[in-house]
Amino acid sequence: MKTDLKGLDARETEQWAADLGLDAYRGRQIRQWLFKRLSASWDEMTNLPKSLRSALRDQALLTPLSLKEILTSEDGTRKLLFGTLDGLLIESVLIPERDHFTLCISSQAGCAMGCRFCLTAKQGFKRNLSASEIVEQVIQCRRGLDAPDRLTNIVFMGMGEPLANYHAVVKAIGNLTGDDGLNFSHRRVTLSTCGLVPEIKRLGEEVTVNMAVSLNAADDKTRSLLMPVNRKYPLNPLLRACREFPLPNRRMITFEYILIDGVNDRDRDAETLCGRLSGLRAKINLIRFNPHAGTEFKPSSPERVLRFQEILIGRHFTAIIRKSKGRDIMAACGQLSGARGKD
């Protein structure tokens, strides 16, 4: 089996080179080509001898994903459909901001969490992605940009629950943020979770990363209705883990709240949310539910969203109404399915 180099850290890459009888610096050279120069072929690695490049073709995997399709929204958002070597399909979303791009990446093919408002959940769980498959989404996206450095922000908010694929996600974050990797700032990498409490605690101890929590309700009955994970990790232990999560100066935990008509968008829901988050260094992203075929839910009205925000701001919370980009190509929050556009 070929070694999947983008899933190795610097020390492992040097050891892999040594095991092949090479000097350790060859491993460092290969990482430079993979992560700094975004090489798409072994032939581009011109400071490696031809004989070594030929040997590497037999020993190492260079590209764990193939780009199948790009859909472009009327607002400039791009949805990238990737194929894995075993025939699965995953999606990433490139979101244009005022002066940079944010890339929303997937950590699993499908998802096992079963959130009722999410189209990905309806696909079921297929498997975890490897660290290299996670990183490769970023590499191929950056490679396709006219100005690769404009891709500055990474969010683990695509298909799957990142903390259910803990080891691979942490390994990928290392290669995304490492000086000898893709060198993204820790401040610009955000991991979103539905609330796996033990892994939240472990993440805070092992990794420096922004955390977002998909909350979507302020009482256990409603949250359990929307998110089955709440039956195992209800709000009290979840918010306790959030309070204990180590935050560098001036950073906050982001709580994502998808507003669904008549389910979680009433004044009393906003008031309860304020009570739940009291004392937390919290920012609240309000997102109107993004419909998809077969859903039982409807988005809250714009007026109701504004009223919900007004209550939160009145209680001195930072509450931002997030505009969902890419709705027309099914690229908005909760709409990813890993399906071709023509299907």
Under 8 Å CB-to-CB from 149, ≥6 apart: which residues?
none
- Which of 69, 74, 91, 244 is labelled catalytic? 91
- In the annotation, is 115 catalytic? no
Under 8 Å CB-to-CB from 82, ≥6 apart: which residues?
65, 66, 67, 68, 89, 90, 91, 92, 136, 137, 140
* Burial letters 166-179, b for 16+ CB under 10 A, else e: bebbbbbbbbbbee
Max Cα-Cα span within the chain = 69
Separation between Cα atoms, residue 61 and residue 54, nearest integer Å: 13
- E strand or H helix at 28, and its extent? helix 24-31
Separation between Cα atoms, residue 251 and residue 269, nearest integer Å: 25
- Which of 104, 111, 141, 333 is labelled catalytic? 333
Residue 111 · residue 172 · CB < 8 Å: no
Query: Euclidean distance between the first and final Cα of the chain, in Å?
Result: 34
**What is the dihedral angle through the alpha carbons of 231, 330, 192, 175, rounded to the nearest 10 degrees?**
140
Separation between Cα atoms, residue 336 and residue 338, nearest integer Å: 6
Under 8 Å CB-to-CB from 300, ≥6 apart: which residues?
259, 260, 261, 265, 288, 289, 308
Separation between Cα atoms, residue 173 and residue 159, nearest integer Å: 16
Please give the positions annotated as active site.
91, 333
